[in-house]
Amino acid sequence: MTHTVCEPCNDCKYTDCVAVCPVECFYQDDMLLYIDPVDCIDCEACVPECPVEAIYGEANLPSQFASYVQLNKDKAAALKLMDEFVDDKGDWRKLRETIQERWLRAPKATFYYSVR
């Protein structure tokens, strides 16, 4: 069970919902906000705070927003991962270094070819 941010959230940057969440499970990109279903404790505190009724519990989710459950899950996971890599100054240097480091450590593909 979790809560899900749906299409009406588009372009709202008031984030009234974020302010009341006791477990800080909201993530945001340019499009809308997302709830991390792993951390959400289903307290429902955010639901009445949203002025456009964009947040729904699983039992009340309108069918036209069904795809937003997976969208919240995927986006929250990706944004959470990025947060973990961004350094204290808020830039992306640490993320870039981590990707480079992992790429260098990863086993490279081996190509076999025959010499005639």
3-class DSSP assignment, residue 100: helix
For residues 2 and 36, what is the distance between their CA atoms, to the nearest angstrom?
Answer: 8
User: Counting beta carbons within 10 angstroms of the beta carbon of residue 39, is it exposed (0 to 12), middle (13 to 18) or buried (19 or more)?
Assistant: middle
For residues 33 and 4, what is the distance between their CA atoms, to the nearest angstrom?
Answer: 9
Interface with ligand SF4 includes 55 (CB under 6 A)?
A: yes
Task: Single out the segment in contact with ligand SF4 by CB under 6 A; choices: 52-60, 64-72, 78-86, 90-98.
Answer: 52-60
Do residues 34 and 75 touch, judged by C-beta distance below 8 A? yes
Q: From the list 29, 44, 83, 101, which residue makes contact with ligand SF4 (rule: CB under 6 A)?
A: 44
What sign for the dihedral angle of Cα 68, 31, 13, 87? positive
Minimal distance in Å, beta carbon 33 to ligand SF4? 5
Interface with ligand SF4 includes 45 (CB under 6 A)?
A: yes
Interface with ligand SF4 includes 77 (CB under 6 A)?
A: no
Q: 41 vs 99, which CB is nearer to ligand SF4?
A: 41
Minimal distance in Å, beta carbon 49 to ligand SF4? 6
Residues lying near ligand SF4 in the complex (CB under 6 A): 3, 5, 9, 12, 14-17, 20-21, 23, 25, 33, 35, 40-46, 49-50, 52, 54-55
